[in-house]
Structures are given as C-alpha cells and as structure tokens.
Structure 1
Amino acid sequence: MLVLPQLKHTDSDRFFLMAGPCAIEGRDMALRIAERICTITDRLRIPYIFKGSYRKANRTKLDSFTGIGDEKALAILQEVGTTFGVPTVTDIHESGEAALAAAYVDVLQIPAFLCRQTELLVAAAQTGKAVNVKKGQFLAGTSMKFAVEKIRETNPKATVILTDRGNSFGYGDLVVDYRNLPEMQAFGVPVVMDCTHSLQQPNQSSGVTGGKPRLIETIAKAAVAVGADGLFIETHHNPAEAKSDGANMLPLDQLEGLLERLVRVREAIL
C-alpha cells in the first residue's frame, strides 16, 4: 500500500487534492486523466490522490451507467496507483464491498447518503485502509463526530477523512455552509471540500442529475480561504460525454489554471 500524502496543511503551504473521473469508464481514459493531473500537481507541489468510482450504485434511472465490471475497474485503479506512484480512492456502498475494494485501493470512500450506515463504516475501518466519509446532505457538520467515533472505535489506528458536499436546499438543489469545515476539523481529522458534487442539482424530472460547473472555482476558492485541508474535484476530458455526473464535472483542460489560482489563495492566507 502506498503511503498517503500529508493530509493536513498545518505545516505546509499546500492543500491536498482528490481528483479524477466520476467513474472508471476504461483503462485509457483513467491513465490519461491521471497522467495529466500528476503532471500538474507535481509542478505545483500539491499532494494528490487519484479518484475514480469502480461502480456507481446511486443512480436515478434503471438504465443509467453503473460500471465496466467491479474487478476490471478496480484493477485499473490499482494500475493508476502503481504507474504514477499515487494513492487511489474509490467509494463502496455495502459492507461486503469493503474487503474487495481494499485489495486494490488506498482509501475507501463512504457516500454521503450512507454516512450513518454503521455496518458499512465498521467494515471499511476493519480493512486498515484510510476512510473518507462524505457528510450527508441532511446533516450538520457537528453530527459527523459519530461517524468518526464508529471508525476510531473499530480501528483506533485508522486514518479518517471527512468531506463536505453541501446540504439539501429544497427539492433539487444544494447549498454549502462553510461553517461545517472548521466544525468537522474540530474532531482532529483532515476535512475536504467536494467542489463538484456540492454543485449538483439532483432529482431532476429528466432523470439526469444537473449541475452548475461554472461555480466550481467559487466553491473551491471559498473552501481554501476558510482553511480546507483538501479539495475533491471530479474532472474529465469531455464532461458532455462522461457516463456519470458529466453535468457538474470540471473540464480537464481547466484544472491547471484553477489550481494555480487556488495555490495563490492559499499563500495569501498563510
């Protein structure tokens, strides 16, 4: 298993980055995206974790894309990690998936809708891998202490990360409350801002989730200014052709400029 990058920026001038495509659509696309992001983050000295879902379980419609096959996608994640020497993260949805995914990746991610599922959190902690728990859209940041406690009581040595992805606002929109970031940091864990999912417009009548990607930079700048330890950004060469969450992903060719500006924001608040 690869050693995770320094997750807290207390003694550093950089935040860390979790980024990659929403879903693993194939080997070539995953390697191309990882190579480009590694080139950017190496130059900017940003610690990097490659993100990709090996399976999408939370879909609006029955015929929505869910994946290319569990072990095939997980093997691609493992190849990305070994090829570029970076840690990898993927989400799991049921406790039975924890051990399988842990054999291939370095960080297990708990989706926001599942952050209260005790059996899932315990299974993730038992693998010995780092666990990134996304805050439920229905919870205040202070309530995430219970997720942290479940993991730590199961495995006191586990690395726990908390990620904010906004709160439900009406029936088809989200809003970010930046108070959640310092409130969750008070639990002694690194806290990440999900800059893309927090701009989703879920449960649209079309059956396809919408989004506001033009505001990704706004969310990211505010998070860095507030003191987020890390950022989570889903990105794709062509979001319009992405098989999952294309409506709120950042075009890959915009990532470098965005990160350059975010580094300057981080430097300005030191």
Structure 2
Amino acid sequence: MSPISNIKHTNSGHFFLMAGPCAIENRDMALRIAEHIHGISDRLKIPFIFKGSYRKANRTRLDSFTGIGDEKALKILQEVGQTFGIPTVTDVHEAHEATMAAEYVDVLQIPAFLCRQTDLLVAAAQTGKAVNVKKGQFLSGSSMKFAVEKIKDTNPDSAVILTDRGNSFGYGDLVVDFRNIPEMQAFEVPVVMDCTHSLQQPNQSSGVTGGKPRLIATIAKAAIAVGADGLFIETHFNPSEAKSDGANMLPLDQLEGLLTQLIRIQEAVQHS
C-alpha cells in the first residue's frame, strides 16, 4: 500500500507533514529528530513522512557538505522508518539512483531543478514508489501537469505528490505565488507547500545560500488557508549547526506551536 494512500487532495482531515533535516548527518541526529517530530505529529494526529537527503548533489561550492555516503545514509533512513513505523522520503538526482533509493525509502523526491528530466521521472515511476515532484522555480503550477503525465503514463498506479517551493524573483530571491496550489490540485494529486526552501536566498556571493526563516510561519499559514494538502518543513535542533541549508530551517522547538496554530487555521477555513 502506498504511504500516501490515505492522503486526499481534498481538505478532509488534517494536512500531512513532510519534515526532517536537510541532509542525513549521522544516525543519532536522524533518529532524535524523527522521534521528536513523530511525537508531535502523533499528539496532533498529523500524518507524518520523515524527510532526509542521503546526498546533496546541488551545491554551489565544491567544499559544501554533500553527505556521509549513499548506502550509509539510506540505511539510516530505512532504520528511521522501521523504528517509528513511518514513511520516509529522500531526493534522487539521476535515473540510476531511483532503484537504489527505492530499496530503502517509501517516497522518491524529484528536486525542483530536475522536475522536467524525463528519464528521472520515468525511472522513479518504474520503482512503484510514491513520487514527490518539486515544482521548478522557473515554472507555473499549471505547467506541472506534464510531470504528472510522465509519471502516470509510465506507471498508472504511481502515487504522485506535487510540491511548490517558490519562484525565482531576480537573481537572489524567491517569491511564492499561492495560485499554484489550486492550479496543481486540479491534477487530482496532493499538493504540498515547501515552507523552508521557498524562503531561500540563492546565488549569494559567499556561495552559501541564505534564507528568511522568520517567515516560515507566514508561508505555512497562508498555504493552509489556501488549502494546501501538506506542508514540507526542514527542521533541526540547532539550525546554525546544520551541515546543509541551516539558513532557512525551522528550529525544532518551534514546530509544535506552529503546527497547533495551523490546525486551528485549517479548521476555521473548513468551517467558514
């Protein structure tokens, strides 16, 4: 059974959550973060998919952290899923990686820059795993129908998720167009708002991406009000010490309070 088989593209029940660190840094860190989020999501009755990248392929600088080794990180993701009984998601960058990653996780994620890569989408669909495709920063929501078609034409049984992560706004910023959420929901798939990467400030002169994490709650609240089916939030006990994308992460101790507010917003919208 697909890990998202109980997630509808309508607003029945609570939104679901894809959350975790940007990258798998070590076993202890991954298990501690997963345990913390799992406890919160269980209390709030929010479906939870643990996120962690086994490798970061899209880095500006050669000396940026990319991972601890593919198999080692994937085995940690598998352990997280088995320990807490939750689905897991990780991103793949080339077609040959799909089969490898599919042995360890439940959802394969296609990075935004690669959402038009036909071979990658086809390979992910062929594994039979659920596929989360991040909308390119250069695309409209309506353009994502072609990504959905590539996956569904390859494997009609594939479960597909689409995730918005903002659009390029000049050279060093992103802006969120919330029209993309209903536009992508028209394809009858769950639509997620990436509340952390949409606040990145890419192409900094330092070669390290910046961000505006103080606005994570703003993006999340607006997305739930518009009707997003799920939220994607990268989080860490101490974002300043994270080895990847710490500049736009949510501190883990802020997660429960934010999710509680978001449930209230969703309930208010549903009953309005």
TM-score by length of 2: 0.98
1:105 aligned onto 2:105:
yes
2-structure distance, mates of 1:62, 1:178: 34
CA gap 1:2/1:31 in 2 versus in 1, 3 angstroms: farther
1-structure distance, mates of 2:116, 2:3: 28
Question: Secondary structure at the residue paired with 1:193?
Answer: strand
User: 1:45-84 deviations in whole A, cap 9, x for unaligned?
Assistant: 0000000000000001001000000000000000000000
2-structure distance, mates of 1:178, 1:98: 30
Percent same amino acid among aligned pairs? 82
- 5 Å-filtered alignment, 1:76-91, equals 76-91=76-91
- 5 Å-filtered alignment, 1:3-152, equals 3-4=3-4, 6-8=6-8, 10=10, 12-152=12-152
Determine the structure 1 residue equivalent to 2:224: 224
The aligned length equals 270
Amino acid at match of 2:122: V
- 1:13 Cα deviation after fit: 2.7
1-structure distance, mates of 2:9, 2:122: 28
- 1:10 Cα deviation after fit: 3.0
2-structure distance, mates of 1:96, 1:107: 16
CA gap 1:104/1:88 in 2 versus in 1, 3 angstroms: same
Amino acid at match of 1:132: N
Determine the structure 2 residue equivalent to 1:194: 194
Question: Secondary structure at the residue paired with 2:7?
Answer: coil
- 1:253 Cα deviation after fit: 0.4
1-structure distance, mates of 2:151, 2:2: 21
Question: Secondary structure at the residue paired with 1:23?
Answer: coil
The 8 Å contact of residues 92 and 111 in structure 2, kept in 1 or not, is answered as yes
Question: Secondary structure at the residue paired with 1:25?
Answer: coil
Determine the structure 2 residue equivalent to 1:178: 178
RMSD over aligned CA atoms reads 1.0
User: 1:102-137 deviations in whole A, cap 9, x for unaligned?
Assistant: 000000000000000000000000000000000000
2-structure distance, mates of 1:50, 1:126: 22
Unaligned runs of 5+ in 1: none
Amino acid at match of 1:125: A
- 1:7 Cα deviation after fit: 1.8
Question: Secondary structure at the residue paired with 2:183?
Answer: helix
Unaligned runs of 5+ in 2: none
Question: Secondary structure at the residue paired with 2:17?
Answer: strand
The 8 Å contact of residues 6 and 47 in structure 1, kept in 2 or not, is answered as no
Question: Secondary structure at the residue paired with 2:30?
Answer: helix
Determine the structure 1 residue equivalent to 2:259: 259
2-structure distance, mates of 1:127, 1:12: 29
The 8 Å contact of residues 77 and 88 in structure 1, kept in 2 or not, is answered as yes
Question: Secondary structure at the residue paired with 2:64?
Answer: coil
2-structure distance, mates of 1:266, 1:2: 25
1:167 aligned onto 2:167:
yes
2-structure distance, mates of 1:191, 1:263: 17
The 8 Å contact of residues 132 and 161 in structure 1, kept in 2 or not, is answered as yes
User: 1:136-157 deviations in whole A, cap 9, x for unaligned?
Assistant: 0000000000000000000000
